[in-house]
Amino acid sequence: MIKIEKVDVVDVVIATDEGILLIKRKYPIKPIKKEYPTYENCWALIGGHVDPGETDKKAAIREAYEETHLKVKIIKKIGDYDKPSPRQKSQGLTLRDPRGNYVSHAYLAEIVGGELRADSDAKELKFFKKIPENIAFDHDEIVSYGLNKIRKDFVNVIINFNLLPEVFTLKMLQNYYEIIQDVKFEKQKFIQYIFAADILELASTKIDSINYEDQLYKFNKILILSNLFLKGCFCIVFWLMALNKKL
């Protein structure tokens, strides 16, 4: 049996309030089997090969700039991917990358500078609120897992400190989060973070403690409860008790 040499690559989930940034490349890949997909005209995460002597993190920052002309800061590592996703397995694939044994080191990143501009190898760059059906490789799994990490991090804070009123402004939420987590965010960076978490919804009511011109939000209780279910029944009961106190 011929051993396929491992190739290290990076994939970068760039999340903003506009969605997840994806790229559609001009050229299809060359699979090792003719029956494998070439992912022509498919959307994919920003990323590429790790150069010799380069760390995964530095490769992610470099690839992000080369493909988008954006400067990014790594928030956290999502994980390492060396197996096909469930969607790929249902398509008969035995590799996550049809080109061979490509191991992806995936990172979650935020934009800190630059101006969005497609590289010469790209057909198009676009932000997506939802994962498109024609997404390449196992990138649907990577995006989903990365966004779930954001949601769970935020939910972990919410269930431990039930201090906010039922409706609130983004400024109130940011102040609350910074106090509890002992961190400081730039206003725009926090907005990117919280909208990427996708746990807020617009509130139709107003409260006297804030300016009526400020947009009011509330937590999407259904999504939060679904996250709490993953943490166990105790957390669900705790959250429901907290909600009842506000009614």
The residues that are catalytic are 124
**What is d(CA 201, CA 210) in angstroms, rounded to the nearest whole number?**
18
Instruction: Tell how strand 6-16 and strand 101-114 pair up.
Output: parallel
181: Cβ–Cβ under 8 A, 6 or more apart, which residues? 157
CA 68 remoteness from chain centre:
17
Tell me if 46 sits within 8 A of 64, measured CB to CB: yes
Classified as helix, coil or strand, 62 is helix
The counts of H helices and E strands in the chain are 7, 8
Here the tokens at position 78 are: 């999502």
Question: Which stretches does DSSP call E strand in the chain?
Answer: 6-16, 19-25, 43-49, 70-81, 101-114, 122-128, 200-202, 217-219
Tell me if 47 sits within 8 A of 7, measured CB to CB: no
DSSP letter at 39 equals -
Phi-psi region for residue 153, left (φ > 0), alpha (ψ -120 to 50) or beta? Answer: alpha
220: Cβ–Cβ under 8 A, 6 or more apart, which residues? 198, 199, 200, 201
Here the tokens at position 134 are: 């024609």
